[in-house]
Copies of this chain bind each other. A is one copy, B any other.
Amino acid sequence: MALTIGVDIGGTKIASGVVAEDGRILDRALRPTPADSPELVADAIADAVAELAARHAVEAVGLGAAGFVDETRSNVRFAPNLAWREEPLRKKVTELVGLPVVVENDANATAWGEYRFGAGRGESHVVCVALGTGIGGGIVLGGDLYRGRWGMGAELGHMQVVPEGLPCGCGNHGCWEQYASGNALVRQARINAAADPSAAARLLDLAGGAPDGIVGQHVTAAAREGDAAALAAFEFVAGWLAQGLADLAAVLDPGCFIIGGGVSGAADLFLDRVRDDYAARLTGRGHRPLAGIRAAELGPAAGMVGAADLARLR
């Protein structure tokens, strides 16, 4: 059985794993991310790969990188949270590990993992929306990972949904990820709790009393106990998520959407609302099939598994 290594390079850690043809993770290695130095990042990747390759016969390495990866799948043009600027990541890592290497945007790798082994199995046209700090977007069309003309496709979180809306780290205003993401959920919960503490008793209790202490787990836990402010925060995110999915359906008409990222662990709290709002907002509703809206299945390992599979299919 052909084995490959998938590497998920995040802003704080580098998660590597040996992945089998059926998507199972057979072994793992973890390193902290030396975020300030492209050379040290390449060294850390190579070190983890060497550790795994010493224990398994692997044939290739797939890197999922949190940045803009060019259409040759070789270079990272820019990364918001790492020191990469026109970084020849494929070349550097290939020289260090002596194996074929492919580089992919991390959200693309996640979408590919879910398409092949997770919630997208059996579909042909899949849009993956991972809700975390922002939105990680990935698109599979006709069974192929969609990259765009220059590799910059599927930056879904940066569609504008509100003109002159909330400022975004990308420099624009009103981007989707400011309204539908883990960060948006927490921000809205804090706003709700500050505006009406009496409706946020459980949420504030969990957070130590102050709205600024609220984090994602507090919102989920309080919502499960019926806290009105926490439930309203989920409704806010669900509504904006549904609107963006309807916009994407107007463009891409996918067979299904996969909702991933940390927030998707609370899918039972908001996904039905997303489905209802999506069905109500879809253009041409009543004259077209409704895409499925599903929670991701692979969790945080989807990017590693997807990157490994893309290396196998290189």
Chain B: minimal CB distance from A302 (Å): 20
**B77–A150 contact, CB under 8 A?**
no
Nearest opposing residue in chain B for A79, CB measure: B287
Q: Does any Cβ of B come within 8 Å of A68's Cβ?
A: yes
Q: Does any Cβ of B come within 8 Å of A54's Cβ?
A: no
**B158–A68 contact, CB under 8 A?**
no
B contact residues around A78 at 8 Å (CB)? 284, 287
Mark each residue of chain A from 277 to 312: 1 if its CB lies under 8 Å from any CB of chain B, else 0.
Answer: 000010111011101000000000000000000000
* A283-B170, A283-B175, A284-B78 known; A253 vs B148 contact (CB < 8 Å): yes
Q: By CB atoms of chain B within 10 A, which of A77, A158, A170 has the most? A: A158
B contact residues around A141 at 8 Å (CB)? 141, 146
Q: Does any Cβ of B come within 8 Å of A163's Cβ?
A: yes
**A251–B283 contact, CB under 8 A?**
no
Q: Kindly report how many copies of this chain are found in the complex they form together.
A: 2
Q: Does any Cβ of B come within 8 Å of A217's Cβ?
A: no
Q: Does any Cβ of B come within 8 Å of A151's Cβ?
A: yes
B contact residues around A154 at 8 Å (CB)? 251, 253
**A148–B125 contact, CB under 8 A?**
yes
**B288–A68 contact, CB under 8 A?**
yes
Residue of B160, B170, B255, B287 near A284 (CB, 8 A) is B170
**A255–B160 contact, CB under 8 A?**
no
Mark each residue of chain A from 158 to 202: 1 if its CB lies under 8 Å from any CB of chain B, else 0.
Answer: 111111000000111001000000000000000000000000000
Residue of B171, B251, B255 near A149 (CB, 8 A) is B255
Which positions 81-128 of chain A face chain B at CB distance < 8 Å?
A: 123-125
**B254–A149 contact, CB under 8 A?**
yes
Q: Does any Cβ of B come within 8 Å of A243's Cβ?
A: yes
Inter-chain CA distance A155–B246, complex, in Å, is: 11
* A158-B283, A159-B251 known; A149 vs B170 contact (CB < 8 Å): no
**B153–A251 contact, CB under 8 A?**
yes
Inter-chain CA distance A171–B284, complex, in Å, is: 8
Nearest opposing residue in chain B for A165, CB measure: B163
Report the 5 A-B pairs with minimum CB-CB distance, sorted nearest first. A148-B253, A158-B283, A78-B287, A153-B253, A149-B255
* 8 A-B contacts (beta carbon < 8 Å): A148-B254, A151-B253, A155-B283, A159-B251, A160-B246, A161-B163, A163-B243, A251-B252
